[in-house]
Amino acid sequence: MGGIQAITFDVGGTLIEPWPSVGHVYAEVAAQFGVTRVAPELLNHRFGAAWEAKGNFDYSRAAWRRMVRQTFGEQAGALPPEFFPVLYERFAQPDAWRIYDDVVPTLEHLARRSLRLAVISNWDERLRPLLDRLKLSRHFEAIFVSTEMGHAKPAPEIFRQAAAELKLPPEALRHIGDSAREDVAGAQAAGWQAWLLDRRSTSSVSGAFCTLADLTRWLGDGQPVGF
């Protein structure tokens, strides 16, 4: 395994996804406040555009509030002040998320191989309780959250801090996530190697995995790892 001692995982798009979608959850909560004429598909489109243009998003409550207003566009004015706190809390609940089918088998397989596992995620104070509620926390010895660490991926500092807390050199660590910029480039800037997880098979990056099962097969075949 090329000296790998630990693997760290991104969360959103890697371990879990909003369920049935961001737009469906937004529309569900909006309906509780009387805003019903908004299609989940439209909200998904708007959220995707806002997310792509987010820039230096700091994952604070205020940043999420702005993201939500951008997503609802002209309909944001019809939403009362009570809407955002309810929506924010909704995404802290496990039934607003789905664990990808390959996640638990992969984590169990890697643990059997005595690999140390951790999380490095751009998230906020909701992540730890969410992973507890999803029964995923037990698979990880450490969970590194950007708002707690003071740095968000792709900043190399979050990876360096994680390495220091795990007491491992960069060459013993690998990171996997669904963002070429945040996960792969960020980890590489800290001296790590990384894998890109492309669940939609849209990446042009050579060697990207389409499922976490690809990762276990890759390691099991004894192939060289990283980009």
Q: What is 2-68 written as a DSSP string?
A: TT--EEEE--BTTTEEESS-HHHHHHHHHHHTT-----HHHHHHHHHHHHHT--S----HHHHHHHH
CB 10, CB 183: distance < 8 Å: yes
Check residue 55 and give its pLDDT. 85
- The burial class, CB within 10 Å (0-12 / 13-18 / 19+), for 22 is buried
Domains for the chain: give ranges and CATH numbers: 6-17+97-220 (3.40.50.1000), 20-94 (1.10.150)
Check residue 76 and give its pLDDT. 95
Q: What's the rounded Cα separation, in Å, for the pair 119 and 5?
A: 14
For helices 61-72 and 83-90, the axis angle rounded to 10 degrees is 110
- Under-50 pLDDT residues of the chain: 1, 222-227
| Three-state secondary-structure class, residue 186 | helix
Check residue 198 and give its pLDDT. 94
Check residue 205 and give its pLDDT. 65
Percentages helix, strand, coil for the chain, rounded to the nearest 5?
Answer: 50, 15, 35
